[in-house]
Amino acid sequence: MAIVDNMEKCYYNYVYLDPTKPCNTKVFGIDLIFKYQPFYVGKGKNNRKALESKGGSTNRHLTNTINKLIRDGNPPIIIQINKELSEHDAFQNEIYLIKHLGLRSNDGLLVNLTNGGGGLSGYKHTEETKLIISEKGKGRIVSEKTKEKISITVSKNHHMLGKLVSEKQYELLTTMNIGRKQTKDHIANCAKTKHKAVKQIDLKTGEIIRIFDSITEARKYTGASKISEVCRKTRNKSGGYFWEYV
């Protein structure tokens, strides 16, 4: 789809950060360093940056990530990194950021569904598209577990919901985990997980390619960075393979 420029300079770019994952991620080519792990990049105007965190997104991965953080008492940090842009420029910034931070579907950081540049302002589905979407949803069986998750709503009165964090608060959050010591049980559990044997499985055939003595060994040999998440069933693949604990 071609990008239609909107010359009205009222757009901006925004990024959602996970406050539970301190980092020092620099975006190549621009003077921007994220002190917490980014997980979504967007463009918008008015209050768009806050709508996603209220369940207003059709991206279920984004909604699930945000809702989990809020349920755990760690609402996402929302930062605005550009403002007073034309829609075209905001799209270009979005594409650039997504390219350099990467999609989780390709072992990157972001839960964005596309490489950016979509979602034109004022766009509406045609009646034909609406019919196709409707037909696809008919007859779908929803598990009790999924129903339970859907029934959990985020309180509109949450003190951090949709708020931008000031620079002072951002610096304070950055220093909170510095020097924090992990408990012995936590360290032991992490070590135990890393030393579990894992199976490298072909996605197409389902055949076991190789068994590694630990996740660390498998990561070094294959370059796959999300093996433990696949083993815990929180993602589908890593490094182009499926993984299971032995």
Residue 200 pairs in a beta bridge with 210, 243
Please state which of the ranges 21-30, 137-146, 158-167 shows the lowest mean pLDDT: 158-167
Q: How far apart are CA 80 and CA 47, in angstroms?
A: 11
Ranges 27-31, 139-143, 172-176, 241-245, most confident: 241-245
* DSSP secondary structure code for residue 39 in this structure: E
Higher-scoring residue by pLDDT: 186, 1 = 186
| Pairwise CA distance, residues 22 & 176, whole Å | 9
Q: Looking at the chain, which runs of residues are DSSP E strands?
A: 11-26, 33-44, 77-85, 198-201, 208-212, 242-245
Q: What percentage of the chain has pLDDT greater than the value 90? A: 6
Residue 191 Cα to chain centre, angstroms: 26
- pLDDT, residue 2, reads 40
Task: Give the mean pLDDT of 164-171.
Answer: 67
Per domain, the residue ranges of the chain are 11-150, 184-245
Q: Are 98 and 115 in contact (CB under 8 A)?
A: yes
Contacts of 50 (CB under 8 A, 6+ apart): 78, 161, 162, 163
Tokens of 39: 């997980």
* pLDDT higher than threshold 90 for residue 176: no
- The pLDDT tens digits of the residues spanning 217-246 come to 888 888 888 888 888 888 888 888 898 888
Question: Is residue 154 predicted with pLDDT exceeding 60?
Answer: no
Q: Which residue has the higher pLDDT, 243 or 53?
A: 243
Determine if the pTM surpasses 0.75. Answer: no
Whole-number Cα distances in Å, 192 to 106, 167, 185: 27, 38, 10
CATH match for 184-245 among 3.20.20, 1.10.10, 3.30.70, 2.40.50 = 1.10.10
